[in-house]
Structure 1
Amino acid sequence: MPKLKTSYCFAFIISLNFIVINAFAQKESYIQSLNTQNHWVDSVYHKLSRKHRIAQLLFVRAHTNKGQAYADSVGKVIKDQQIGGLVFFQGGPGRQLNLVNQYQKLAKVPLLIAMDGEWGLGMRLDSTVSYPYQMTLGAIQDNTLIYKMGRQVAADFKRIGAHFNLAPDMDVNNNPNNPVINYRSFGDNKYNVAKKGIAYFTGMQDAGLLTAAKHFPGHGDTNVDSHFDLPLLPYSRARLDSLEEYPFREAIAAGISGVMIAHMSIPALDTTTHLPSTLSRPIITGILKDSLKFKGLVVSDAMEMKGVVKYFPNGDADVKAFVAGMDVIELSENSDRAINLIRKALRHGAISKAEFEIKVKKVLAAKYWAGLNQYREASPLNLNADINSPAQKDLVQQLSDAAVTILKGDASTIKLNPFLKTAIVSIGVSSPTAFQQEAAKSFPNCKLFMVDKNTPAIGLKNILSLLSQYQQVIVGVHDTRLRPQSKLDYNSDVKLMIADLAGRPNTVISVFANAYTIAGLPGIEKSKALMVCYQNSPELQKSVVKVLMGTLKPTGKLPVSVNVFFPTGTGIGL
């Protein structure tokens, strides 16, 4: 009898473990799902006409800030053409949710809803949370925080009825003057870019969101914005293989569901004159699909961009992208024209029937994986509270705390005495900042100074004279522009003022701007205490005050090389 009891207990423990393991098992990935036949996908595919199969590959632009006539025009495209999906841009979350619910009623096959959300919904939508930019995330040493962010971004997307984040950016930004990638990249170290990108998209995918690494084969070392012209990537195949492509290879190995192709001329990979990589079969099919064995969704960058239509107008770009190996043709200038031209190309045998079927079924399989086989409307109830919760805001603060990077200083120069006479200076602004307001709570004997970026020399001289009367000076250098560019738009006198302050022994400087801006501030390297915080967010301004008060130990490391004084990886712990 005792033996029987032991066996029974053992069996019960095994079954209990099985239940626990299954409860925490992750959903099968999109890439894994492609290995098994899907009856829903097959059924939908067989019901579609050839024209509507082609239409599944087309994703068109949508907004909620352009008025009713624009919204209605998109609805007409959905109804008439039965396209595969939408890419939403600027607007508001409530308006978008309601519009998506209306649009889905017009589609015979549910639409796949995509957005660019490199820093979450806030990249496109008002009244939503913006997580830190990818360069800021590049400074963080604990990648589990970035995974956690990925899961939250996925929850935010799904809450408004979206299924596909066209992120992360996995370009290696090794050109400080890059006009289009820059702070959108995790940095200039290919290993760091790969690890951060994988942490981010794994979080999103584990929480049920489709993702796309961009911009293959690597847009980080260009000085032309492909929105306006075709960038040239003039490097050797060996260089591209070892550097630019590295994060994408790692992402593919880690199971990324999609890859977005850049518009770039890359002679080492395809010698065709003025041919963007989005239209190159040797690059898309030859390298990405055949050599790198990528089986997921291949997505074009926007096909309305000058980098592609400048040399291939009138729908020619859409057909060439289709033939090159594209699965999702994003933002064609004219989707109806694109469908008809691709239909004609298919009739002439541009690609095989088998290859065409694989493309369409990949898009349908993505819809199935996203749950669109059992489509349910997103609910507008409590939307604002759900996408702006204390938990989301706490996560932004955690990420910000982990990004603060000390470039110069130690405990004696960084941690300040709250009882000394203190000047709190914000440069580049005309009104008090979150940094000043937060610091003032901890330094009761303080005065606030604002220095506008265009203050004339005589005004700066007076301020410097006043600052000499204070026992300690806390300085914030702010870039208040919407996007943190590589160079500050301060006048030369304000830059000289920063150099003057950097040379004073009682001054702590924090840069709330793109890390590259430090290279344009000669003399700042003389600081006894210097921190870089990558962007001008209220959370990072609060993080610095925690460091000054000794309640936060900064662990960030510089994700890009600024100059000879501050190379990649610089970061001093306290």
Structure 2
Amino acid sequence: MKKSILLFVAIVLQVSIATNAQNLPFSDYNQRWVDSVFQKLTPDERIAQLIMVAAYSNRDQAHIDAISELIRKQKIGGLVFFQGGPTRQVQQTNFYQSISKVPLLVAIDGEWGLGMRLDSTISYPYQMTLGAIQNDSLLYKMGVEVAMQCKRMGIHVNFAPVVDVNNNPNNPVINYRSFGENKENVARKSIAYMKGMQDNHILTTAKHFPGHGDTDADSHYDLPLIKKSRTQLDSLELYPFRKIIEAGIGGIMVAHLSIPSLDSTKNQPSTLSKPIISNLLKNELKFSGLAFTDAMNMKGVTKHYTPGMADAKAILAGNDVLEFTEDVPKAIEEIKKAIREKKITQAEIDARCRKVLAAKAWVGLDKWKSISLTNLSKDLNTPKAKLLNRQLTEAALTLLKNENTFLPLQKLDTLQIASVSVGAEKTTTFQRMLAKYTSVQHFVISKQATTADIKKVKDALAKFDLVVVGVHVPSVRPSKNYGITENMQKALTELSSINQKVIICHLGNAYTLPKFDFSKATAIVTTYQDNTIAQELAAQALFGAVSMSGKMPVSVSPVYPLNGGLGMNSIHRLKYTMPEEVGMNSELLERRIDSMANIALTQKATPGCQVLVAKNGKIIFHKTYGYLTYDNQRPTQEDDLYDLASVTKVTTSAPALMRLSDEGKFGLDKTLATYLPEYKNSNKKDIQFRDILTHQARLTAWIAFWKETVKDDGERNHKLFRTDSSKRFPVKIVDNLWLNRKYCKKIYKEINDSPLLPEKKYVYSDLSYYLYPRLVQLQTGKPFETYLKETFYLPIGATHLTYKPLRYYPIDQIVPTEYDSLFRKTLIHGTVHDEGAAMLDGLSGHAGLFGTANDVAKMMQMYLQMGEYGGQRFINEATLKEWTRYNDVSFSRRGIAFDKPDPKSPGLSAAAASSPESFGHSGFTGTFVWIDPKYQLVYVFMSNRVYPTRNNNKLGSLNIRTGVLQTIYEVIQKGEAK
């Protein structure tokens, strides 16, 4: 009879709970399973279901044995995993579950994802960072991803989010873990994060009730005292809890706080307070989910209460689950004692036990299966999850100051830029990303830099127009002044007072902003924390590759108020990101490109190569393969300079002529003699540039000018060469070989006098490109290279595009080409491979330009954007469309200066999937560029296939360059088909 009455009371309590929680996710869930399990539990085991103990996957066997003992003998209800690694934790979880009578409820503190506790997993941004985001749907997506990762790990409860309103800058425990000081913002973001998790059956636990945001003590080490009135608490601290309860949250964690206005008992932690938990949380706020205690080993509770006694008082106060119980047998005994003393009934314990079991059923423990270790790391670190991490960080970027709209940086040719990392020990990711956009000289000032060190850097900055300062705040935690040293503060004061324009990129907790004097800075950006992704995106934002829309989630001073943030739009410079951002599968893309590149290497088609892919204005793939030479001494690197060979045509002559066309200084339907007076009496005087640039002007394909400098016996004509430079012999062919200054005239005359082919047909010819540097200089009054750099390369930040690279770069940064056994009789390394260009002092319109894949991509992206890049227009859209369309397919597939897909033989000159709108060019040394407006695609392939001999044509015969391009199209199309 007594048993029936107790069961009836438990059922009534359960019905009451369900009635009060219309939105509670797990109420009434699989009651058949709940009833079945419950009936098999002894009264002691029902108490044990309310206990979760701490587990660590990075501890020894003794720890595992201790946990196993608690599971086998005490029948505890759950585990809270702390530090460790995913594989070890899954192995332990499987073992612990296998020995447990009832499946264990597994929890984790994952406020910013699994990375908060586990190595080799993703750490999403801190909640302060998330508080700056204006698009709350991103937080929902984060909740979804965290839920997926938890489920993959066999985790059922996430002790997150923190819904405390942090309105105390000196808060030692919440601080950056809060969404901020605005209660509405905290509530909105908490609910978004919660729904993302709970919609995927991960029980979410809001903390730390009734609000830990306005404390200056850490409850891990003491019992914080909150002196606020009930009215104050209602208006602020309780607001987010009230809203998230209304939204249906399944769990609330109660903090260890002393709050006299809610419970006047001296030294009474809120965790042990019936007025706070039963009366306020459950009755008044109508929360009927699981009330969890904060860790029961924290000083906030153990300072005044012993283990066991504290656990019992927590249950009496109304908590449903005890977290981190230190002495389980004693806790159970003390709770049993409370039942005997009628301080609580067994029926109340049973109702809470059934609620725990319902939650277990809802998270899937009614159908528990062992967790597979196969692909665990891969599943926890998906590209989708990594992309979301980048998107969250980007959305939080906050522009706090921007005098005269100085950002985003434009007209890069007018700026000499230096970067200084303060608080770092070596060149940072932030600095390396800056250098992808233009030439930047780097300096570092460590935390312990001396006055002399600071002065040395400051003096070196005098020659620069702009100084970009990365402030690397040592710690996100407020203790010990966030790790900020006096030397750091002094260095930043010094840097802020220089005469040049200064951009501050603050990488750290927003509360540290007032600790530095940035009043004289031209622009200030904050990222709220310092990690690789934040550094990368902050650097990109300065150049306008990404926008900035974040708003300050806290007020740290009148200069940096709540909701401060100016906002800034992108100006469409190339962004560096992941394939998933443009709908492509990164794993598939890399695997397919790797396969083609490895074929090239194993077949010795080239000793090394680079592949760069940009889509939708975003570089989503840039990878190097192999080595510079076949001796495998030096791997290829992203900043290597390649001899572009005929890609020179579309990076020098073509843009120059298009620009002159826009300015009325060049016309496609004009003749050669129009701009070059020496051709007025030539057989070529009436040839139009449209025919010349589409290779149908009857010009000879090429002339081996070098052969005329060699005698019949193979020896050089010593009247033309010297082993050292002089006024008469200033033209460097290679080291120890200098050509007579007048020989260039012979080259031009030979071109002038060369015969025309008998009929008009497609014959690819280099000859006219020898003439364009002179044509451009006549029309502009500037040397060809100067014109190119001033007009295109420097403004777009392509500072590595250059002729004669040894003037600016060490030889080990330049990729060698061929061992020339006939003319130069040496390895060609640092000078142009093409003999004709070499005889023109390394500078011609058809060959001679060197550059990195990254900088070539900028020129190609400018073409893709129809002549515009970085907020500047370089070529008119109509001009680019004219030059890149099919000119006359009855003669050839060519556009004007550009190659195009062959409509008669798809796959011959480009990938079979290339659209008719696409265009590009190849280079003899093994280079290739392709632009496809239909797919918003830029492709750059770099190699030195002519090393050590040009007779190696495997790169072409194996279709490596176009084969890689074809795979890129296939991955794009596969993504579009989804």
Written as runs of structure 1 = structure 2, the 5 A alignment for 1:62-101 is 62-101=55-94
**Does the Cα contact within 8 Å between 2:431 and 2:539 map onto a contact in 1?**
no
Given candidates 441, 445, 464, the residue that maps to 1:470 is 464
Deviation at 1:526, TM superposition (A): 3.2
- Give 3-state SS (helix, strand or coil) of 2:463's partner: coil
> 1:24 maps to which residue?
none
Is 1:177 the counterpart of 2:177? The answer is no
- Give 3-state SS (helix, strand or coil) of 1:473's partner: strand
- Give 3-state SS (helix, strand or coil) of 1:214's partner: strand
Relative to structure 1, the CA distance from residue 451 to residue 340 in structure 2 (aligned partners, 3 Å threshold; closer, same or farther) is same
Deviation at 1:214, TM superposition (A): 0.1
Deviation at 1:102, TM superposition (A): 0.4
Q: How many residues in Structure 1 have an aligned counterpart in Structure 2? A: 545
AA matched with 2:510: A
> 2:505 maps to which residue?
510
Relative to structure 1, the CA distance from residue 83 to residue 175 in structure 2 (aligned partners, 3 Å threshold; closer, same or farther) is same
**Does the Cα contact within 8 Å between 2:169 and 2:511 map onto a contact in 1?**
yes
> 1:194 maps to which residue?
187
Query: Deviations 1:2-25 (Å, cap 9, x if unpaired)?
Result: xxxxxxxxxxxxxxxxxxxxxxxx
Relative to structure 1, the CA distance from residue 60 to residue 30 in structure 2 (aligned partners, 3 Å threshold; closer, same or farther) is farther
- Give 3-state SS (helix, strand or coil) of 1:525's partner: coil
Relative to structure 1, the CA distance from residue 461 to residue 488 in structure 2 (aligned partners, 3 Å threshold; closer, same or farther) is farther
CA distance in 2, matches of 1:411, 1:97: 55
Given candidates 419, 434, 458, the residue that maps to 1:424 is 419
Is 1:449 the counterpart of 2:454? The answer is no
Is 1:111 the counterpart of 2:96? The answer is no
Deviation at 1:393, TM superposition (A): 1.0
Q: Structure 1 residues 345-354 or 376-385, which shifts more?
A: 345-354
> 2:148 maps to which residue?
155
CA distance in 1, matches of 2:209, 2:460: 53
Relative to structure 1, the CA distance from residue 41 to residue 481 in structure 2 (aligned partners, 3 Å threshold; closer, same or farther) is same
Q: Structure 1 residues 445-454 or 417-426, which shifts more?
A: 417-426
AA matched with 1:181: I
Given candidates 532, 538, 546, the residue that maps to 1:538 is 532
Deviation at 1:369, TM superposition (A): 0.2
Query: Deviations 1:264-297 (Å, cap 9, x if unpaired)?
Result: 0000000101000000000000000000000100
- Give 3-state SS (helix, strand or coil) of 1:151's partner: helix
**Does the Cα contact within 8 Å between 2:29 and 2:358 map onto a contact in 1?**
no
Query: Deviations 1:90-115 (Å, cap 9, x if unpaired)?
Result: 00001001110000011010000000
CA distance in 1, matches of 2:423, 2:62: 40
Query: Deviations 1:424-468 (Å, cap 9, x if unpaired)?
Result: 11110111211111111112x221111111211121111111112
Relative to structure 1, the CA distance from residue 74 to residue 187 in structure 2 (aligned partners, 3 Å threshold; closer, same or farther) is same
Deviation at 1:44, TM superposition (A): 1.2
Q: Name the one with the larger helix percent.
A: 1
Given candidates 561, 564, 576, the residue that maps to 1:567 is 561
CA distance in 2, matches of 1:410, 1:257: 47
Query: Deviations 1:365-396 (Å, cap 9, x if unpaired)?
Result: 11000110110111100011111121111111
Query: Deviations 1:241-260 (Å, cap 9, x if unpaired)?
Result: 11111000000000011000
Is 1:346 the counterpart of 2:301? The answer is no
CA distance in 2, matches of 1:205, 1:335: 29
AA matched with 2:506: V
CA distance in 2, matches of 1:475, 1:36: 56
**Does the Cα contact within 8 Å between 1:29 and 1:205 map onto a contact in 2?**
no
CA distance in 1, matches of 2:148, 2:336: 37
- Give 3-state SS (helix, strand or coil) of 1:542's partner: helix
**Does the Cα contact within 8 Å between 2:467 and 2:500 map onto a contact in 1?**
no
CA distance in 1, matches of 2:371, 2:429: 35
> 2:960 maps to which residue?
none
Deviation at 1:486, TM superposition (A): 8.8
CA distance in 2, matches of 1:461, 1:494: 13
Given candidates 350, 371, 383, the residue that maps to 1:378 is 371
CA distance in 2, matches of 1:261, 1:499: 43
Given candidates 160, 167, 170, the residue that maps to 1:167 is 160
Query: Deviations 1:59-84 (Å, cap 9, x if unpaired)?
Result: 00000111122112111111111100
Deviation at 1:204, TM superposition (A): 0.5
AA matched with 1:176: P
Relative to structure 1, the CA distance from residue 411 to residue 145 in structure 2 (aligned partners, 3 Å threshold; closer, same or farther) is farther
CA distance in 2, matches of 1:446, 1:337: 65
CA distance in 2, matches of 1:140, 1:464: 35
**Does the Cα contact within 8 Å between 1:502 and 1:528 map onto a contact in 2?**
no
**Does the Cα contact within 8 Å between 2:172 and 2:478 map onto a contact in 1?**
no
- Give 3-state SS (helix, strand or coil) of 2:138's partner: helix
- Give 3-state SS (helix, strand or coil) of 1:468's partner: helix
> 2:213 maps to which residue?
220
Deviation at 1:29, TM superposition (A): 9.4
Written as runs of structure 1 = structure 2, the 5 A alignment for 1:217-296 is 217-296=210-289
Is 1:55 the counterpart of 2:66? The answer is no
Gaps of 5+ in 2: 1-20, 569-978
Deviation at 1:492, TM superposition (A): 2.4
Gaps of 5+ in 1: 1-27
- Give 3-state SS (helix, strand or coil) of 1:406's partner: strand
> 1:435 maps to which residue?
430
> 2:899 maps to which residue?
none
CA distance in 2, matches of 1:76, 1:518: 50
CA distance in 1, matches of 2:126, 2:40: 43
Query: Deviations 1:143-162 (Å, cap 9, x if unpaired)?
Result: 00010000000001110111
| Cα-Cα RMSD | 1.6
Q: Structure 1 residues 355-364 or 45-54, which shifts more?
A: 355-364
Comparing both chains, which one has the higher relative contact order based on Cα–Cα distances under 8 Å and sequence gaps of 6 or more?
Answer: 1
- Give 3-state SS (helix, strand or coil) of 1:259's partner: strand
CA distance in 2, matches of 1:110, 1:130: 28
> 1:461 maps to which residue?
455
**Does the Cα contact within 8 Å between 1:30 and 1:369 map onto a contact in 2?**
no
AA matched with 2:81: F
Q: Structure 1 residues 427-436 or 412-421, which shifts more?
A: 412-421
AA matched with 1:502: S
CA distance in 2, matches of 1:570, 1:266: 32
- Give 3-state SS (helix, strand or coil) of 1:425's partner: strand
The structure whose Rg is larger is 2
**Does the Cα contact within 8 Å between 1:486 and 1:516 map onto a contact in 2?**
no
**Does the Cα contact within 8 Å between 1:406 and 1:532 map onto a contact in 2?**
yes
AA matched with 2:137: T
CA distance in 2, matches of 1:560, 1:306: 28
CA distance in 1, matches of 2:167, 2:255: 16
CA distance in 1, matches of 2:520, 2:133: 25
CA distance in 2, matches of 1:188, 1:526: 28
Deviation at 1:483, TM superposition (A): 5.0
**Does the Cα contact within 8 Å between 1:484 and 1:535 map onto a contact in 2?**
no
- Give 3-state SS (helix, strand or coil) of 2:444's partner: strand
- Give 3-state SS (helix, strand or coil) of 2:80's partner: strand
AA matched with 2:562: T
AA matched with 1:433: T
CA distance in 1, matches of 2:495, 2:22: 53
Deviation at 1:529, TM superposition (A): 0.1
Given candidates 380, 399, 405, the residue that maps to 1:406 is 399
> 1:331 maps to which residue?
324
Query: Deviations 1:220-243 (Å, cap 9, x if unpaired)?
Result: 000110111100001101001111
Query: Deviations 1:347-382 (Å, cap 9, x if unpaired)?
Result: 221123432222111110110001101101111000
> 2:573 maps to which residue?
none
AA matched with 1:260: M
Identical-pair percentage: 49
